[in-house]
Chain A
Amino acid sequence: MTKHKQSKTKKSKSVFRRLISAKVIISFLLLLTVTGAVTIAILDFRVRSEFEGKRWALPAKVFARPLELYVGAPVSLNDLKIELKALGYQFVDKVSSPGQVAFSASRATLTTRGFHFPDEHEAARQLILDFNGDSLSQIRSADQQSLTLIRLEPALIGGIYPLNNEDRDLIQLKEAPQAFIDALIAIEDRDFYDHFGISPKGIARATLANIRAGAFVQGGSTLTQQLIKNFYLTADRTLLRKMLELPMAMLLEFHYSKDEILEAYLNEVYLGQSGNRAIHGFGLGAAHYFAQPIQELKLHQLALLAGLVKGPSYYDPRRNPERAKTRRNLVLSVLHQQGSITDEEYMLASTAELDVVPAGSSMKEAYPAYIDLVKRQLRREYKDEDLGSEGLKIFTSLDPISQHKAEASLVSTIEDLGRTYGESLAKLQGSMVVTDPQTGEVLALIGDRNTRYQGFNRALDASRPIGSLVKPAVYLTALEQGYTLISELDDSPFSLTLPNQQTWSPKNYDGQPHGIVPMHDALTHSYNLSTAQLGMELGVEKVIDTLKRLGVDRPMDAYPSLLLGAQSLSTLEVASMYQTIAATGFQIPPRTIRTVTDNAGEPLSSYPFQLQQSIDEKPMFLLQYNLQQVTRSGTGRSIYQQLPININTAGKTGTSDQQRDSWFAGFTGNRLAVVWLGLDDNSPMPITGSSGALRAWTRYIAQEPLQSYEPAMPEGIEMLWIDPLSGKLADGLCENATQIPFISGTQPTETAACATPEETFTENPIKRSIDWVKDIFR
């Protein structure tokens, strides 16, 4: 039964087969045609929609502050050189085009490149700058007109990249020099302007060349095909993808002009690698290899760029300079043969050096610590994918000149200490934050002794015990509660049993108690015993409250050891704390970002000067005075071995327990800097705040334009002569009388024996002033 059934089925099947076979073939052909048409339609749709809507994921560009030039600007000729180096200017004898500068003894002549700032366009122009020592004395245009205010273009200091780490800097076709377009077409696709997307001539030529050479030496891909490959087919290179390349190239040519295709190619092409950052497009390629805009490159450089397309790694001019030179000269010889360049141009270009800037000299990777802080501030408002793709422009306050000086000072100090102390400081690390104390702008930031290291950022992420840097908070708390700078403190040993039954018995750095001391002396010389006792009297909680009002925004434990600096803070947190002191009680949060604009330059957000008064200016003025004593005659006095004595500075040294951390935080009128030195494994060191961090600080400040720190004396402050022995009012006749500021109402009323009682100064300001004059003439 089964058998019968089987034969029947077989028979009907074969008939069926015969019946439908014709149908199948027709259907199949139909299907194929439809599929083909649909495929073409889909491809066409894809080619068009993606090309037209093609928006590369454009990394955000981060800019330094533009250098402002005006008469009196605190910029020396040397500072200008640092700035222009960061901008990739060529130092020449005679200026002929943008991006060039010529120097003489006290003059710089340069042609700027111009820049679209968010607020206005600054045109490219020639400038003649005259310097008088540390400042700019005259600015003129080429036709001798004097100019009031000019901004140089800001240096591009970094980017925020998309997930694929593609970096590019878009250019328009018209921005690419003609010589470059000639070179590119000559070497990659000489029929570009004649073919329809694919070039049978090119393929034939390539095949012939390959047969002759017996190897694959030439590809027949047109620029259009290469673009299709990179543009649409990057993911994987299967046979199917390869087959799609040809129709897509033709479709692209069908819809778009040669210029449009070429412009897309210029920006798409891969040109090399910098760390994990992929260099795309010739705009960025020029910056990456030559640190200059493509418009400023010379023929031999343009030829090299064009030659790199074939194999950016194989022809890498830094790793394989000989190959790169051969390739470049091949490009030049093709140009020469086809008559695009003269004999002379050919000779000159083909014998030139490669003129590539060394790897790692790009300003885009020069300031990783600063960029890190910028990113953190940005991420509060922007999504990562927008930062990496929307082509945002981020204008920051990084000052390449200050950063350069800060780096040089910190690194050389670390190296010097390493030499002096040998093995124990071989791995010494450091961090540094520099701000403008009046605006709160962060000018420079260093997170590692290797300043280009993209890793652990000590300025932000290394929280370390601040040691005596905490003391100003203790003294400020006291001054707010009615203590004066001459209040008597007890600097004698004591022990305290802590809740955990441990005993706390702090010591002075010199191991000696100092008995009864006036308060200002205790801070000036950083005495621990008196500070700790004062802090205990005030209450640790009160000191924490003061720290918070100074801008320290983190939870702190109210242990007595906090009074001597057991609390850990980052370098940046210390900077914001001292910022409030420098600004007389106004909290000014450290800022890095000025403005963020979209790709077209339209402002998206700006970050204006913010401030909030959190501490009364009168006690703050007394503290400022005391911190000036620290640098005049206390633990920071070595500053004046390098700084002129008419420049007031204020600051505090800090050394943590067992000398594991060396700190200095201080300011002048125009710079606030905090330096930390220490070892990552937290080992004790042979250096203190004074012998370590302070050296880097001083070395840095001495290079900056110096501005004396002159805080305005608030109303309600009395400046009085005090006899240091008795703490009573003195006058011009008293030996060693010291001037001390008091909050009105807290000044001593008794007169010292050395002064005549009826000549009490507070009672008669006229008499007091006259006596002062007498004192001077004495």
Chain B
Amino acid sequence: MPITMHKMLFIMVSLVMFLSACSTTPVSQRPAVESRDVPVSSPTTESAQTSPVPSQQANPQAMPLPPGESTGTDIPATKPAPAPTNPAVLALLSDAEKYQQQGNMSAAQSRLQRAQRIAPSDPKVYYQLAKAHYELEDFRLAEQVALKGVSYAKGDNTELKRFWLLLADIRTKKGDMAGAKAAREQAARY
């Protein structure tokens, strides 16, 4: 599993880097673009809907940290693992699920759209949205939404697996057998 190994290393590296950045790194000597993940402050505005995706330097994106590995207060708030889903979004998603089961797709849709506006980079929202379009047999849109979701799920293997399995189903229904096979293979990687 060279990829996972690689990713783990990056995470560790980025953690160390944050620590060091707070103390000694001569930020200004590096080209400006590369210094972007050196925290200046930890803005409070970025609480709930901050993209969980760290900068390129600390890539691959935000694998969830084991709880024990929290490195204390020096870790800036700007680079968390995937942000926990906001309770407001969770409430909307569970409402949407309920309506979906009752077959009230328009009520489900409106909840999902609200959830997306509040948390436009939360993969959970895209998963459910893609699923809703799948059930409405709008396979083209379902596939696109799921693909978008994949990009927000980077680093979250459970979520990625879920997305690729859904994509395999969508593509099968679409009649895209080669695409479905590729999606299943992707899913198997996680």
Contacts and interface: CB of A to CB of B under 8 A. Distances in A.
Bound pair (A, B) = yes
Interface of A: 68, 70-74, 118-119, 132-135, 148-149, 436, 438-439, 441, 583-584, 586, 594-595, 603, 606, 608-613, 617, 625, 628-629, 632-633, 637, 644-646, 648, 669-670, 705-708, 710-714, 719, 736, 738-739, 741, 765-766, 769, 772-773, 776-777
A70 B118 contact: yes
B110 A119 contact: yes
B116 A68 contact: no
Residue in B6, B35, B46, B55 with the greatest tally of chain A CB atoms within 10 Å: B46
Given A135-B45, A633-B32, A644-B43, A710 B54 contact: yes
A576 B48 CA distance: 27
13 contacts: A70-B86, A72-B49, A133-B44, A134-B44, A135-B45, A609-B116, A610-B141, A625-B33, A646-B78, A670-B120, A708-B50, A765-B2, A773-B13
Contacts of B114: 68
A733 to B, nearest CB: 14
Given A609-B145, A710-B53, A773-B13, A646 B48 contact: no
**What are the nearest 9 A-B pairs in CB distance?**
A72-B48, A438-B120, A70-B88, A149-B88, A632-B32, A134-B45, A119-B110, A712-B154, A710-B53
A645 B34 CA distance: 11
A736 to B, nearest CB: 7
A253 to B, nearest CB: 45
Given A610-B141, A776-B17, A706 B54 contact: no
Contact of B147 (A132, A613, A705): A613
Contacts of A648: 36, 55
Given A119-B111, A645-B40, A711 B53 contact: yes
A378 B172 CA distance: 36
Contacts, number: 180
Interface string B1-32: 01001100110110011001100110000011
A152 to B, nearest CB: 14
Contacts of A603: 106
Contacts of B141: 608, 610-611
A338 B114 CA distance: 53
B157 interface: no
A135 B107 contact: no
A417 B57 CA distance: 39
Given A594-B113, A609-B113, A765 B9 contact: yes
Given A609-B129, A610-B141, A436 B88 contact: no
A134 B41 CA distance: 14
B77 to A, nearest CB: 11
Contact of A776 (B16, B36, B107, B113): B16
Contacts of A612: 144
A68 B45 contact: no
Nearest to A607: B113
B30 to A, nearest CB: 8
Interface string B111-152: 101101110110000000100000000000100110110011
A439 B120 contact: yes
Interface in B31-73: 31-41, 43-51, 53-57, 59-61
Nearest to B61: A712
Contacts of A608: 109, 113, 141
A637 B111 CA distance: 40
Contact of B49 (A74, A134, A595, A739): A74
Q: How large is the interface on B (under 10, 10 to 19, 20 to 34, 35 or more residues)?
A: 35 or more
Nearest to A397: B117
Contacts of A738: 31, 33-34
Given A436-B117, A609-B116, A777-B20, A708 B41 contact: no
Contacts of A644: 40-41, 43
A118 B110 CA distance: 9
A117 to B, nearest CB: 8
A594 to B, nearest CB: 7
B113 A710 contact: no
A624 to B, nearest CB: 10
Q: Is the interface of B mostly helix, strand, loop or mixed?
A: helix
Contacts of B113: 594, 608-609
A681 to B, nearest CB: 39
B187 interface: no
Nearest to A644: B40
Nearest to B40: A646
A608 B43 CA distance: 32
Given A646-B40, A765-B6, A625 B56 contact: yes
A436 B119 CA distance: 12
A626 B74 CA distance: 30
Contacts of B35: 645
B182 interface: no
Nearest to B118: A68
Contacts of B33: 625, 628-629, 632-633, 738-739
Given A606-B110, A714-B151, A769 B13 contact: yes
A129 to B, nearest CB: 14
Given A706-B45, A708-B51, A738-B31, A773 B87 contact: no
Contacts of B25: 776
Nearest to A75: B45
A629 B41 CA distance: 21
Contact of B48 (A71, A606, A765): A71
A74 to B, nearest CB: 6
A613 B167 CA distance: 15
B36 A646 contact: yes
Given A608-B109, A612-B144, A706-B45, A712 B152 contact: yes
Contact of B34 (A610, A739, A769): A739
Nearest to A135: B45
A613 to B, nearest CB: 6
B45 A705 contact: yes
A707 B46 contact: yes
Contact of A741 (B16, B39, B43, B56): B56
Contacts of B129: 609
A638 B34 CA distance: 17
A404 to B, nearest CB: 18
B48 to A, nearest CB: 3
A713 B121 CA distance: 14
A608 to B, nearest CB: 6
B144 A611 contact: yes
Contacts of A632: 31-33, 36
Given A133-B45, A629-B33, A712-B53, 16 more contacts: A68-B88, A70-B87, A70-B118, A71-B48, A72-B86, A436-B117, A608-B113, A609-B113, A611-B148, A628-B33, A633-B33, A644-B41, A708-B36, A708-B46, A739-B33, A773-B13
